[in-house]
Chains A and B, each alone.
Chain A
């Protein structure tokens, strides 16, 4: 069965960086992408960006450009999201979700069908 298992909660100081992992199992990792979504306390869902596990191509939300980097390790079927220069408003639960690797594959519907359990990142001095 498909599973996305994320790393544990983190507490960081303002200005620091955090790296969250998302380990995939139950499917061919390199045939899909991973999107990252975050949710601040009491707020809605915010899409952060996408990475292809096939070739490492990325697309980041404009507001996070320059602060976020998404990578994958195909040897361990793990995706990573690193966020730098943390601020208090980065406090949120961060989710990974399975995505496609090309627009032509959207038609199959295999996107955002599986999600990780979420990782709480708290930014506080």
Chain B
């Protein structure tokens, strides 16, 4: 089974400063169709998760452009260029390459210093 490992698990950030979250998979996430189905989700306190990024770097509609995704193979990164107060929450990576089995990372809690 694919294991998704995120780091750090806790990320205190100063408002206006950048933040970066790493996600590593135990197997390559390159699908047989050539795409890489690595996704990022944000979960604000008390809310359902919300998808931010799909297929490594595609931002969902309405997601601010301060969020960006990158990476390939087994190593991926979510970056927030300038953290705002509304970005507080837990961020999860999730692989879908091995569909119909999905796997989430453990989550990274972003908080304001």
Residues of A in contact with B (beta carbons under 8 Å apart): 33, 35, 37, 44-47, 50, 59, 61-62, 95, 97, 99-100, 103-104, 106-107, 109, 111-113, 115-118
Contacts of A46 in B (CB 8 A): 104
Contacts of B33 in A (CB 8 A): 103-104, 106-107
Contacts of A44 in B (CB 8 A): 90, 92, 104-107
Residues A106 and B39 in contact, CB atoms below 8 Å apart: no
Contacts of B100 in A (CB 8 A): 33, 50, 59, 99, 103
List the 4 closest pairs (A to B, CB-CB), nearest first: A59-B100, A44-B107, A115-B48, A47-B102
- A-B pair count, CB < 8 Å, reads 71
- Check if B71 is an interface residue, CB within 8 A of chain A: no
A93 and chain B: residue at smallest CB distance: B48
- Check if B66 is an interface residue, CB within 8 A of chain A: no
**Bound Cα distance from A111 to B58, whole angstroms:** 13
Residues of B in contact with A (beta carbons under 8 Å apart): 1, 31, 33, 35, 37, 39, 41, 43, 48-51, 54-55, 58, 60, 90, 92, 94, 96, 99-107
27 pairs, CB–CB < 8 Å, chain A vs chain B? A35-B102, A44-B92, A44-B106, A44-B107, A45-B92, A45-B94, A47-B102, A47-B103, A50-B99, A50-B100, A59-B100, A62-B1, A95-B48, A95-B49, A97-B49, A100-B99, A103-B31, A104-B33, A106-B35, A106-B37, A106-B99, A107-B35, A109-B54, A112-B49, A113-B51, A113-B54, A118-B48
